[in-house]
Amino acid sequence: MDDELNLREIIERAKNYDTEAFGRLYDLYFDKIFRFAYCKIGSRHEAEDIAEQTFLRALEKIAEFEWRGIPFSSWLFRITSNLIVDYYRSNKYETVDIAEEAIVNHDDGCSPEQSAMQELERREIVKAIRSLTWEQQQVIAMRFFAGMTNEEVAKAIGKNVGAVKALQHRAVESLGRILGASYSEARYR
């Protein structure tokens, strides 16, 4: 409860154009928004742009934000989702090889062989996620990449918790079938 009261206080200060308060909101949510956008787009650069645009829009509209039983994070994710839809509608996006991009930005001490295997797996996972329905992609990205709870996802996408659980279940089953087939095929090549 203290966290919610503290967040409400920070938001109220941000609504009054307190830059420090808005900076706190940015610090609290930027990584989650970025990971969500990255999962949906696959380009680090474009995901950073979308995350930045999310916070610019939030800054422009924060005075209009009202507590209506929807978490502030859900409001931010809705802005991000709309920006992602606009991004794809613009047809200005480039296909990005996620494996190549991740290798460029990769530095965890793995051997080149281990890094290559990890990136192949990432590429397969992202490809599999993109084969899901838009709603299933939203749920997977919010739950597993942004770390949101079922309740937060439900509020962000305007569905009940049961529907979110069902979407997640179907998405995970589909991913299992797709990835299981991909890995089986790769073993016999």
pLDDT, tens digit, 9 for 90 and up, residues 117-168 = 766 777 777 778 888 888 898 888 888 877 888 888 888 888 899 999 999 9
Q: What is the pLDDT of residue 85?
A: 87
Q: What is the mean pLDDT of the chain?
A: 80
Within 10 angstroms of residue 188's Cβ, the number of other Cβ atoms is 5
Count helices and strands (H / E) in the chain: 9, 0
Residue with tokens 């990971």: 35
Tokens of 186: 């790769």
Alpha-carbon 121 to chain mean position:
19
Does residue 155 contact residue 71 with C-beta atoms inside 8 Å? yes
pLDDT, tens digit, 9 for 90 and up, residues 81-114 = 899 989 988 866 554 444 444 434 444 556 677 6
SS3 93: coil
What kind of architecture, by CATH, is found in domain 1-96? Orthogonal Bundle (1.10)
Distance CA 130, CA 125 (A): 9
Distance CA 80, CA 60 (A): 14
Of the candidates 145, 124, 118, the residue with the CA atom closest to the CA atom of residue 51: 145
